[in-house]
Structure 1
Amino acid sequence: MSSAVSERRRHRRRPIALLHDAGIVAARWLARQEAAVLVAILGVLLALFGFIKITEELLEGDMGHFDEWLLRGLRLPDQPHTPIGPAWLLEAARDLTALGGRTLLLALVLFALGYLALERKYGGMWLVAIAAAGGGFLSTAMKELFGRGRPDVVPHLVAVASPSFPSGHSMLAAIIYLTLGALLARFAARRRTKIYLLTAALALSFLVGSSRVYLGVHYPTDVLAGWCAGLVWALICWLVARYLQYRGTVENPGRR
């Protein structure tokens, strides 16, 4: 009887022991990481706070004046169909907004997955796939959850169909470009090259999001929320990748 009781107790304590061991490993990992990991954790917290704050203001109806003011300010006073700036700027905005479209982003992800598969970096391949697929799912789910209509303040300069909040182009551009930028940075030997790649990823995300407001298809708060949500997801995926590399579960892309 006593042996049976001991066996049951051992089984009950096994999940607790596993959680305890995982916590110890995670604590050791954090202690050994450089400042980049701490900055990433801080970035997650700040971006998450920003998203929550924007959402609260949106639900309380406090952001409408700012959204309308900026959208109207990007159009000529007596010609709401015409955006400010030279004619080439409108074409550039349409080209830039395509960089955040699902078709192009899917193609980039598939090319990255193919490369990682050829290099036999299967762990990294699955992480990129999960980051991209998870980001797409979160974007769609949040759009349906909030159900915010598209701006009707100014005419749309490109066709749109889905709900407005958060901006899917902004969110997915942040996720994909930052994930791929971080992946490429792992191969770079020089620090300035790493900084350049991550800065380029941030710049692309900024340009895509800004183009959505310029074209009148998103409120500015849609784009800000999309950037925040995309940054949170991208940084979480990066932190998970670093932790799994530390555990040896996922290959370090910078090593052969």
Structure 2
Amino acid sequence: MPDTFPSPPSPPSRWGALAGLLTAEAVGGALVFVLAFGVFFYLAREVFAEKSAVFDDWGFAQMDRLRAAAPWLTWWVFKFTFFGSVAFFIPASLLVPLVLHRRGFVRYAFELLLSMGGGLALNELLKFYFQRPRPSTALIYQYGLSFPSGHAMMSMAYYGCLAWLVVQHTGRWGWGIALVAFALLIGLTRMYLHVHYPTDVVAGFAGGAAWLVLLRTGLRVFWKEKKVGAREAKAES
């Protein structure tokens, strides 16, 4: 009787591997994207189609009340808002990926660079499209357009990406939540200083969150495709 040997398992198909993306993470990401896109679309409609200033007036009123009750906060706000500025993000977006790369986290470095580069380009495109002037009541002069807030959007892109990488690598959700909260506080400083309307800030958060989900989904497909392609090449050799 001839010996029979089980045939080696065939490598997973490309479509089968991509089907593995349908995980709880992917479903959660889809929900975040839909919610973020919906918030951004609603705010854009309220500001530019409905010409509504209800939320902006309410948000500014809350910040003015806070500033009157605790004027000492203003000094801290000026310091805190720096961590969402171009002057901070340019070196941070280069140095942190460099450190990650040198420590062997090449993929993480790549993700952070893409998050910031793509987020900046998207923010500039949106500002150019909507062409909203900044508030005339700003406590400090800021150049550029207003909708959506660059501080809010880029903070969500940077600290949100870092939060995801920390949770992915260490599982420490506390650090991830702290990083996202840090991004939210930076956005609030823009409202406090009246350099952005509240709708600008919330739209910036929504735009940054939507961009992160798109980036994460695209990178998962890319890395999965790359992994499957490597397996297929190995199987054929």
Q: Please give the range of the TM-score, normalised by the shorter of the 2 chains.
A: 0.7 to 0.9
Look up the equivalent residue of 2:123 and give its one-letter code.
S
Q: What is residue 217 of structure 1 aligned with on the other side?
A: 195
Q: What is residue 98 of structure 1 aligned with on the other side?
A: 82
Provide closer, same or farther for how the CA distance between residues 102 and 248 of structure 1 changes in structure 2, counting only shifts above 3 A. Answer: same
Give the C-alpha shift of residue 92 in structure 1: 1.6
Give the C-alpha shift of residue 232 in structure 1: 0.5
Deviations 1:174-232 (A, max 9, x none): 000011121122221xx4x2x11221122011101111111111111000100000000
What is the identity percentage for the equivalent residue pairs of Structure 1 and Structure 2? 25
Worse-matched range after superposition: 160-169 or 233-242: 233-242
Matches within 5 A, 1:70-81: 70-75=59-64
Give the C-alpha shift of residue 71 in structure 1: 1.6
Q: Secondary structure at the match of 2:146?
A: coil
Give the C-alpha shift of residue 244 in structure 1: 3.5
Q: What is residue 177 of structure 1 aligned with on the other side?
A: 159
Distance in 2, matches of 1:61 and 1:68, equals 15
Give the C-alpha shift of residue 88 in structure 1: 2.2
Look up the equivalent residue of 1:184 and give its one-letter code.
V
Contact 2:80 2:186 in 1 (8 A): yes
Q: Does structure 1 residue 55 correspond to structure 2 residue 44?
A: yes
Contact 2:153 2:205 in 1 (8 A): yes
Distance in 2, matches of 1:121 and 1:69, equals 44
Q: What is residue 203 of structure 1 aligned with on the other side?
A: 181
Q: Does structure 1 residue 227 correspond to structure 2 residue 205?
A: yes
Distance in 1, matches of 2:59 and 2:109, equals 41
Matches within 5 A, 1:1-256: 25-26=17-18, 28-31=19-22, 33=23, 35-75=24-64, 83-152=67-136, 154=137, 156-188=138-170, 191=171, 193=172, 195-248=173-226
Provide closer, same or farther for how the CA distance between residues 23 and 221 of structure 1 changes in structure 2, counting only shifts above 3 A. Answer: farther
Structure 1, unaligned runs of 5 or more? 1-20, 77-81, 250-256
Contact 1:174 1:201 in 2 (8 A): no
Contact 1:158 1:215 in 2 (8 A): yes
Give the C-alpha shift of residue 137 in structure 1: 0.8
Look up the equivalent residue of 2:106 and give its one-letter code.
Y
Give the C-alpha shift of residue 73 in structure 1: 4.4
Contact 1:179 1:234 in 2 (8 A): yes
Runs of 4+ residues deviating >6 angstroms: none
Distance in 1, matches of 2:223 and 2:54, equals 47
Distance in 1, matches of 2:222 and 2:91, equals 26
Look up the equivalent residue of 2:39 and give its one-letter code.
G
TM-score by length of 1: 0.76
Distance in 2, matches of 1:212 and 1:30, equals 37
Contact 1:29 1:246 in 2 (8 A): no
Distance in 2, matches of 1:246 and 1:22, equals 9
Look up the equivalent residue of 1:44 and give its one-letter code.
F
